[in-house]
Each structure stands twice: as C-alpha cells, then as structure tokens.
Amino acid sequence: MLKGKKSLKVALATVTATVLAGGLLTGCAPANAGGTITYLTNAESWTHADPQRNYTGMHIAWFGSYLQRTLTAYDRAEGAAGSAVVPDLATDTGRSSNGNKTWEFTLRDGVTFEDGSPITCEDIKYGVSRTFATDIITDGPTYAIGMLDIPSAEDGSSTYKGPYSTDAANDTASFDKAITCSEDSKTITFNLKRAVGDFNYTVTYLSFSPVPKAKDDGDQYDMHPVSTGPYKIKSYKVNDSMVLVRNDKWNGSSDPLRANRAFPDKVVVKFGQAEEVRDQIILADKDKTAVSLDAILPTNLSAVFDDEGNVLEKYKGRALNVYDPYVRYAAVNVKKLNCLPVRQAIYYAKNFDSLITLAGGQAFNGDAADGVIKPLMGLDYAKTGYATDDKDWKPEGNIEKAKALMEQAKTECPALYARATDPKQGIFYDIPDTETNKKASAIWIESMEAIGVTMKFNYIEPGKYYSVVLDATKQGDLSSGGWAPDWANASTVIPELFTAEGGFPMSQNWEDPAYAEFKKRSDANLTEPDRKKQGAEWAALNKYAMDQMWVIPGVFSKTQEMWGSKIGGAYFWEPQGALSFGDLNIIK
C-alpha cells in the first residue's frame, strides 16, 4: 500500500466474523462520551477525503472510524485481533461461490447516509463505479479495476470509464454485469475476473464504500464527502481545519462496530502545524486532548523515550514506539541502472549504520532490511541471505567489495559505468525534501564518492513525491520508497512492486532479462490455493528480486506516536498501521 501502513499476522483463511448482537448496544451513551479531540498535523489538508481516493492506511483508519462505513471492516481491537475482518454495512463477511470468483454481501437494515436516506446496493455500486473514472478520481486503490469482470481495451485500460464519461462507447453494460443488485437493493454481488480468496479484505477499502449519486460532484466531492458513520463534517478548510460533529441520523443499532464507541462530541483536525510546534504542544501537554497525526520528529525522541526505545516514566501511556507495517528501501529504476554489478556495488557501499543513526538509531528507525517482506508476515517471509546474513555486507559499507564490483561493471557495462563515475553526470536519487533527508543525502554522497560514483539528488516536495516518481518519465535512477502489504498476503507486495501491472512499479524491471521468469511465477502464485505453498513462493520471489537487486534494501521501520494526557483508548491498530482513532476518548 502506498505510503500507507498496513499489517499482517492474520491467518488468511476467511475469518469467521464475530457478529455482534446489534440490539444490545443501542441507546446508551458510552462512559467517556463528550468533549473535543483535536488532531494536529503538518499536512496542509487531507491528501483526499473522498472515500474512493483514500489510499493511506492512516487516512483509511481515520475516515473509516468516524465518517465512512464499508461492507466489511477490520475489527477495532489491539494486537492481532484487530486484523480480523468483521461485517460493517453488511450482515456478514461475504459469501463466495464459483471458486472465489463471485462474492455476495447483504446490507444491514437501518443503514443511512447523514441526511437520513437509506444506503442501498445502488449507492455502493455507484461508489465503486467512481474508481473507474481515473481521470477525475485519482490516487485511490484500483483493485476494482483489476478484479471486476470487465473487459480491457487494447491499451490495457478498462473499457468502462466511470460514471462521468459522456462517451457513447463507455462500457456501462459490462460494469452492470460485474456488479449486480438484488430486487430489494439489499444484496450486492461482485463478479470477478479471477479467483480472489480474500476479496472480503479488499472491500475494507473505502473505495468500496457508498456514495449518493445526487451528492457527487466529481473532483469537488473530495471537499464534502457524505458521511455514513457516527460523525459528519461540519467544516473543512484546506490549510486550516476540519471539524466533525455527531451525525444525528446515525443509528448505533445498525453499526455494532462503532456503537458505544463514538466518544467525543466533536473532532477537530488542525492542518499546517509546524512540525516542531506540533510536537511541543503534545510534549509539553499544552492541549491535553490533542493527538498528533504524524510521527514524532527524530529530534524529539530523546525527550520521550530512553535509549532502548522504551517510553520514559513521564510519558507512560502517552506514546508508542512500534514496528509499523512498512519496509523502506530505494527502488532501483532497472531501465536506467541496467547492470547488476552497479546495483550490487551501491548496496555494498551503502552506509546503513550512519543512515539509521541519523534517523534516530536502531531503537527508533528500525533494523536493516533483507528484502521487501517484513518478518512479521509469517508465512510469506524467509531470510533472503542479504544484509545481516550476508558475510560480505558491513553496516558501515563494504567499500572494498563495492569497488571490486565497480571494476567488474567497467567491463560488463561500460556505458553505465562511465555515466555513474562521470562527475558531470552521475546517478540520480529521488528523495522527499525534508531536513533529515538532506542530511541523509550527504551520507550517501560520501559513500558513493568512496567507490568513485557520483550521486546526485532530486529533492521532491513530500506532498508531491509519489506522483512525481511514479511518473516513469520523471523518475531518477533510484527512488526512496516505502511499502506495506494491503492485507496479510504478500500478493499485495511482490506483484505490486515488481510487475508491470502492479500499483507501485517503481523498479521498472520489465525489460530485465530476469523478469519473464519472475512474472510467470508471480502470476501463477496469485491463484495458488494452498496458502502455505503460496507463502513459500512469495518468500522465494522476495529473494529472487533481491538477487537481481531490484531494490536497494533499507529498513524494517518503526514509528513513534504521541498524544495528550487526557486521551484514553489509544493503541496501535495493526491492520491500518495507525492509532486506534475510533476508540480514542477523553478521560474524565
């Protein structure tokens, strides 16, 4: 998942849902109800508030907790229990047939939008249709396009172009066949083009949430999405704030997941907080009911945690230091760095030690990674033999080994060797423009100079970073990246990162001689019914990608979160890699 944080640990077999008895939970206000929770963030706005355009774990967690309901959702619980899928708008976690190619969900009674009108199958179908309008509804996950049984045009795009298209050739008929509604508009059926055993995880994405057609105004819907959850938007101003108030049309009896847990009366998000100020407000407990939406600045970690990364006594119960679901790495643009010894030389020369120290040290930044799958993935992870398991690898960089590889490159690929060692050209590394990254670039340049390579940096505004580097024409030779599985199956990692059809194909490796074999195995493994065998194969493909050095590994990263002293109910919600926003409350 793009910059998002997502996790793991879930045994994949369809989870039997804990269906809560709705009736029991209605009516009574929760004990810690009331007050205002204030979220602080450095961002100028939400990347997107439109449910079909949200694709970051933290954002999905936030909007999913307060405003948007989906057919199924992750349970709101600490630890592995949180990764179980439970029914939300639907009465159960979905029924599959036709060898996992047909999925059916039935809507609960009494589910409504914020204006009180009932949510129907048509509303969900309309919501999903928006994903296909890729010219307007940008940045969201495109699983609907990849999975629904709709033909592809010659250029590979879907023949259905979404609800806004005025083109007569728009293939609405196929879309109408791919998603069908029952007579009473209570049951929705998805017809898929390939077997997807975990489609009920896919529909936890907000891109499968309902949108009332009458309220949809395309691009501008991003500013005023209609709520289906316990809160609704009172105001939303970019560069300023978003204010949520209670949605009086929301009925707890139709929402067992959120009933009794809609604590605050008001939720405020303050945008554009200077990072230092944001941290200090919470560190000094200036606003006791404030929560930071961003990770703590590395420079402030020592105030909160000891050297081992444990929370200091003063901040007990107010901060977290956990592994997030990310793996960070430098994606290699294989089209440009089309020479294995050069890629290996970069890996061996890289000064892991200094880079990790700069980012706060191992206790906070994480451990050197040996691939793109995190050990927490269980079934899908096996050691690749790189980083700490590689006898030639040194944490501060093995300059000798890297120089030898460059010598090898000199004869194997003279053109690239010449460019990499030419001070006037060199190789370009894309990196988000932050103060820490600026220092990191100095460390990189130093390591590369030691092996005679000129490295230059493209500093890209953090907010624009991925839209620039995902544009193949603008991408440099290396691009810093981070990825986490969309759900607990490396099917959302390996093919996403390393195949041409993937959602995050920064490696551009499809002209590499080693690609054909890889692609064949990856495709076959997508529909492998035996989850154990599938996992072992993902692990093998992870090693395969590392053998080709399609990424320069980085870290299995950690994150640090913080909140005010009057905030209760905070824990790390693993599946979204974010705080348990929906359970936050104000301690009386």
Partner 1 sequence: MNGLVAYISRRIGITLLILLAVSFTVYLIFALLPYDPASLTCGKNCNDPGIIEANRKRLGYDKPFFEQYWVFLVGLFAGRTFGEGAATIYCAAPSFGYSFQQHACVTDLIFDAIPVTIALAVGSLILWLVVGVGLGIIAAKYRGKIWDTLSTAFVLIGTSLPTFLTGLILIVFLVIKVDWSPFPAGGYTAPDEDIGGWFLSMVLPWVTLAFAYSAIYTRFVRSQILEISTEDFIRTARAKGLSDGVILGKHTLRAAMAPIVTMAGLDFAGLLGGAILTEAVFNLPGMGRLSLNAVVDIDLPVIVGTTILAAAIVVIMNMILDIVYAFIDPRVRV
Partner 2 sequence: MFSKKAEQKMSGHSPRELAWRRFKSNKVAIPSLVVAVLAILSVILAPLIYSLAGIDPNARDEDALDSRGEVPGDWNGISEKHPLGVIPGVGYDLLARMLFGARVSFLIALSATLFTVLLGLFMGIVGGYFRGRIDGIIGRFTDFLLAFPTFFMIIALSAPTIERMEKSGFIQGNEARILYLIMIFAIFGWPYLSRIIRSQVISIRERDFVLSARALGASNFRILVKEVLPNVWTPIIIYVSLALPGYLSAEAVFSYLGIGVQPPMPTLGTIIADSTKYMMNNSVYFFIPTLALVLLVLTFNLLGDALRDALDPKSET
Q: Which residues bind partner 2 (CB under 8 A)?
A: 275-276, 280, 283, 297-303, 307, 354, 357-364, 424, 433, 435-436, 438-439, 441-443, 445-446, 456-457, 459
Q: Which residues pair with residue 190 across a beta bridge? A: 103, 179
Interhelix angle for 340-349 vs 435-450, to 10°? 110
Provide the minimum distance between the beta carbon of 277 and partner 1 in the complex, in angstroms, as a whole number: 5
Locate tokens 């960070």: which residue?
Answer: 328
Q: Among 286, 438, 439, 588, indicate the residue that binds partner 1 (CB under 8 A).
A: 286
Choices 62-70, 161-169, 311-319, 332-340 (CB under 8 A): range interacting with partner 1: 161-169
User: Binder to partner 1 among 21, 166, 308, 411 (CB under 8 A)?
Assistant: 166
Q: Report whether 120 contacts 179 (CB < 8 A).
A: no
Q: CA 437, CA 479: separation in Å to the nearest integer?
A: 12
- Tell me if 450 contacts partner 1 by CB under 8 A: no
Range list of H helices, 219-336: 275-283, 301-304
Of 265 and 446, the one with the shorter C-beta distance to partner 2 is: 446
Q: Which tokens belong to 558? A: 């950690």
Name which of partner 1, partner 2, none residue 436 binds, using a CB cut-off of 5 to 8 Å depending on partner kind.
partner 2
Beta carbon of residue 4, minimum distance to partner 2 (angstroms, whole number): 25
From residue 98 to residue 137, the character string flagging contacts with partner 1 as x (rule: CB under 8 A) and all else as - is: -----------------------------------xxxx-
Residue 551's H or E segment, with its range, is strand 551-562
Q: Which does 165 bind (CB under 5 to 8 A by kind): partner 2, partner 1, none?
A: partner 1
Interaction with partner 1 in 18-47: which residues (CB under 8 A)?
A: 44-45
Q: State both tokens at 285.
A: 């407990």
Q: Cβ closer to partner 1: 221 or 538?
A: 221
Q: What is the DSSP string of 47-93?
A: S--SGGG---HHHHHHHHHHT---SEEE---SGGGGGSEEESSBSSS
**Which of 13, 154, 155, 530: binder of partner 1 (CB under 8 A)?**
155
Count residues binding partner 1 (CB under 8 A): 46
Q: Are 275 and 42 in contact (CB under 8 A)?
A: yes
User: Which residues from 44-103 bind partner 1, rule CB under 8 A?
Assistant: 44-45
Of residues 472-531, those binding partner 1 (CB under 8 A): 472
216 interacts with, out of partner 2, partner 1, none, CB within 5 to 8 A per kind? partner 1
Task: Choose which of 5, 108, 258, 270 interacts with partner 1 (CB under 8 A).
Answer: 270
> How many CA atoms, within 13 angstroms, populate the side-chain half-sphere of residue 506?
27
CB 562 within 8 A of CB 292: yes
**The only residue of 168, 274, 308, 530 in contact with partner 1, by rule CB under 8 A:** 274
Residue 521 dihedral angles phi and psi, to the nearest 5°? -65, -40
Is the CB of residue 318 less than 8 Å from the CB of residue 562?
yes
Q: How far is the CB of 563 from partner 2 (least distance, A)?
A: 18
DSSP code at position 376 = G
Complex with partner 1: residue 21 or 274, whichever CB lies closer: 274
238 binds, among partner 1, partner 2, none (CB under 5 to 8 A by kind): partner 1
Which of partner 1, partner 2, none does 11 bind, CB closer than 5 to 8 A by kind?
Answer: none
Q: Is 415 in the site for partner 1 (CB under 8 A)?
A: no
Query: Which residues face 559 on adjacent strands?
Result: 322
Neighbours of 331 (CB within 10 A): 28
Size (the chain), residues: 588
| Among 231-239, 402-410, 419-427, 485-493, the segment contacting partner 1 (CB under 8 A) | 231-239
H-helix segments, 163-304: 172-178, 199-202, 275-283, 301-304
Return the C-alpha torsion angle 106, 109, 110, 112, nearest 10.
10
Tell me how far, at minimum, the Cβ of 89 lies from partner 2, in Å: 44
* Binds partner 1 (CB under 8 A): choice among 104, 149, 176, 219: 219
Cα separation values, 546 from 35, 69, 344, 390, 539, Å = 51, 39, 10, 12, 11
Cβ-based neighbour number of residue 445 at 10 Å: 17
User: Which residues of this chain interact with partner 1, rule CB under 8 A?
Assistant: 2, 44-45, 133-136, 138-139, 155, 157, 163-166, 216-223, 237-241, 270, 272-274, 276-277, 280-281, 284, 286, 461, 463-464, 466-467, 470-472
